[in-house]
Structure 1
Amino acid sequence: MLLAVSEGSKQNAALPETIKLVMYAEPSHVDGFLFSASAQPNTVPDRAAVFRLGLQSMLGLFLAPLGRSGAKFHRPLSCSSRLEHGLIIILPGIEGCSSVNDSIARGLVAGQLSHAIQIIDWRRFRPWNPLHLAMQRHNRTQARVVAELIVNYQRDFPGQPVHLIGHSAGAGMALFVLEQLREDQAVTSVTLLSAAISRRFDVERLLGRTTAGIWNFYSPLDLPTVGIGTMLFGTMDRRHAVSAGALGFLTQNRSSMFSEDSQQQRPRLNQIPYQKSMARSWNFGGHFGSTNAVFVRDNIVPICRRC
């Protein structure tokens, strides 16, 4: 049951419906996953449950063409009690809010995080279309709106963590959001999955807009989508080239500019290439492998938990 839009922000009330912070009455469970603020991950995972979770996420990809109607799991995850413990914003690819990013939300809940979880559909129109990559003015405007949402949340819930998770084109949007924050504003962490943004994008200059750093999960096995695909249709920063989601970012190694003590305190860019062992978490290296709920539980939840 819908209760209210987050109070204390008239600007938030004027935002498009898809990017409001909406609070729902808190259920006792969501599709079989219990969650509470004090919950901790089980030390001995149930193999059968993990198998069902991974298989459910994989089969759920077939529901992606249904869009928002096939993504219902995340809807109760912005309840007021969760907002009090932090906020995770998921920015989807050109498919928009769908079962793909709903699977990310499943993995976060399976890892028993207590944060509120929002999927923000930033696209200009709904159909799954590579033209979304080229709409620079619209994309930058939406990034500014998301940045304002974050600032409003941090004002209403001071001291609580804010994490951004972007998949494919949504990873580019996550970086655009960082660009819209002032130098004295920051989110906690940013996680990029199969990022459809060029390898030469200067991601290191945005590390100061985070308190913990940026994680980039990339896979050479994803070259058909964020390699050939972005060479044909372009990346989010409008380069026709192989993306950072396939081969990682080309960095300038600015760490030499700082002392050793300063380097240890500064947020870092963590580039994580695909490894065969990730297949145990149902990530087989393709474009949607990193969105599988088991992979999210095993690899992204620890980032959000320790930051």
Structure 2
Amino acid sequence: MEELERRDSFRRGLGATLALLKAPFGSRWLPTLDFESEDRLERGLVIVLPGIEGISPLNHSIVLGLTDACIPYAIRLYSWIASGLKPGLTNLWMKGRARMIAAHLADMVVDYQQQFPGRPIHLVGHSGGAALITHILEELPPGRTLQSCVMIAPALGPRFDLAPALRRIEGKLYNVRSYWDWYFLGVGTTLVGTLDRHHGISAGNIGFRYPKESETERHQLYHERFEQLHYQFRMLADWHWGGHMSSTNRVFVQRRIAPLLRQKTSTPGDSPTVSNSKEETQATSGSGKTQEAKVASTALDRAQFDGMPSIS
């Protein structure tokens, strides 16, 4: 059985790597992914946000990696880029539009929470889509929170203030970063800038700067609700070579990203350890294809998924 699992992982990892050759063609020749059945929606929702290239083999690989891990939630792949705008990097330059899209996605989150109260919601984004996650969290109305968010190689400046976004998180906000992502998040963001208009090495490469201990509340927010996951060479076994694109490989996502999405249902009266802003306190007090068959050893049930350990 272990040999079958190794062969299956090799097949999926190699397939996702070869699929990167089709990335310049966007969504052309890609199958339709549909993981939003009523049964899945009843359990929870994961919104996957592509990079500035839009729908492509990269984000398809993220979705497939989540389904490989047998995540029981609905998975929605949402393209936020401006349709027909070329080159894609210009999506990083329209700061106002990014905020508008973030507000729309925040409304989408609220609509889901009203329709399925108490269900977990997670965001997973890559590159520009990862950067957009912080804006979505900031646009959520007072009293609304998400369970967890994973930023894979985010195109944001390392000094970007995460505190407003962290106040909207019940679990953690993760930054999956790599020093080896030097071309896109080093040279690229130095020349064309990040979503927050920083020109230089991005946080998806060198990580975010932590606030000083003297900034008590912000320091505590970062300590309790933020974690940076650094690239390690042992991740080569997960088909992540350290670069910008291999961080979306479905095997890496299955083994390293999916375990971070833990089910956590809010209950009335729950309050985070770190207090939110004064305004929030006042507001809250007043108010594709069918998933392909897998070998038996990879068919984890929901209980196994909920108990998977996160990566260190």
For the aligned pair, the TM-score class normalised by the smaller chain equals 0.7 to 0.9
Per-residue CA distance 1:53-84 (angstroms, 9 max, x = gap): 101111111122232234425x2111111111
Q: In the alignment, does 2:222 pair up with 1:285?
A: no
Q: In the alignment, does 2:255 pair up with 1:298?
A: yes
Letter in 1 for 2:122: H
How far does residue 254 in structure 1 lie from its aligned partner after superposition? Answer: 5.5
Q: In the alignment, does 2:164 pair up with 1:208?
A: no
Partner of 2:154: 195
How far does residue 208 in structure 1 lie from its aligned partner after superposition? Answer: 1.5
Larger relative contact order, structure 1 or 2 (CA cutoff 8 Å, min sep 6): 2
Q: Does structure 1 retain, via aligned residues, the 8 Å contact 2:138–2:164?
A: no
How many residue pairs match? The answer is 262
Q: In the alignment, does 2:108 pair up with 1:149?
A: yes
Q: Does structure 1 retain, via aligned residues, the 8 Å contact 2:169–2:225?
A: no
**Residues in 1 aligned to 2:39 and 2:183: alpha-carbon distance in whole angstroms:** 42
Q: Does structure 1 retain, via aligned residues, the 8 Å contact 2:120–2:263?
A: no
Instruction: Select 1:272's aligned residue among 226, 229, 234.
Output: 229
Please, what TM-score do these two structures have when normalized by structure 2? 0.79
1:133-148 aligned at under 5 Å gives the runs 133-148=92-107
Instruction: Select 2:44's aligned residue among 79, 83, 86.
Output: 86
Please, what TM-score do these two structures have when normalized by structure 1? 0.80
Per-residue CA distance 1:209-262 (angstroms, 9 max, x = gap): 01101000100100111111001001000111110000000110559736xxxx
Match of 2:61, SS state, is helix
How far does residue 193 in structure 1 lie from its aligned partner after superposition? Answer: 0.6
Unaligned runs of 5+ in 2: 265-312
Letter in 1 for 2:141: R
Match of 1:163, SS state, is strand
Q: In the alignment, does 2:211 pair up with 1:252?
A: yes
**Residues in 1 aligned to 2:48 and 2:15: alpha-carbon distance in whole angstroms:** 19
Instruction: Select 1:237's aligned residue among 192, 196, 221.
Output: 196
Letter in 2 for 1:282: W
Match of 1:211, SS state, is coil
Per-residue CA distance 1:162-207 (angstroms, 9 max, x = gap): 1101100111111110110123111111101111000000113321
Partner of 1:59: 18
Q: Does structure 2 retain, via aligned residues, the 8 Å contact 1:91–1:167?
A: yes
Partner of 1:95: 53
Which of 267-276 and 149-158 deviates more?
267-276
Q: Does structure 1 retain, via aligned residues, the 8 Å contact 2:180–2:243?
A: yes
**Residues in 1 aligned to 2:29 and 2:163: alpha-carbon distance in whole angstroms:** 36
**Residues in 1 aligned to 2:151 and 2:212: alpha-carbon distance in whole angstroms:** 19
Letter in 1 for 2:234: S
Q: Identity across aligned pairs (percent)?
A: 37
Q: In the alignment, does 2:202 pair up with 1:218?
A: no
Match of 1:283, SS state, is coil
**Residues in 1 aligned to 2:192 and 2:102: alpha-carbon distance in whole angstroms:** 21
Partner of 1:180: 139
Partner of 2:269: none
RMSD value, Cα: 2.3
How far does residue 44 in structure 1 lie from its aligned partner after superposition? Answer: 8.7
Unaligned runs of 5+ in 1: 1-41
**Residues in 2 aligned to 1:47 and 1:181: alpha-carbon distance in whole angstroms:** 42
More strand by share: 1
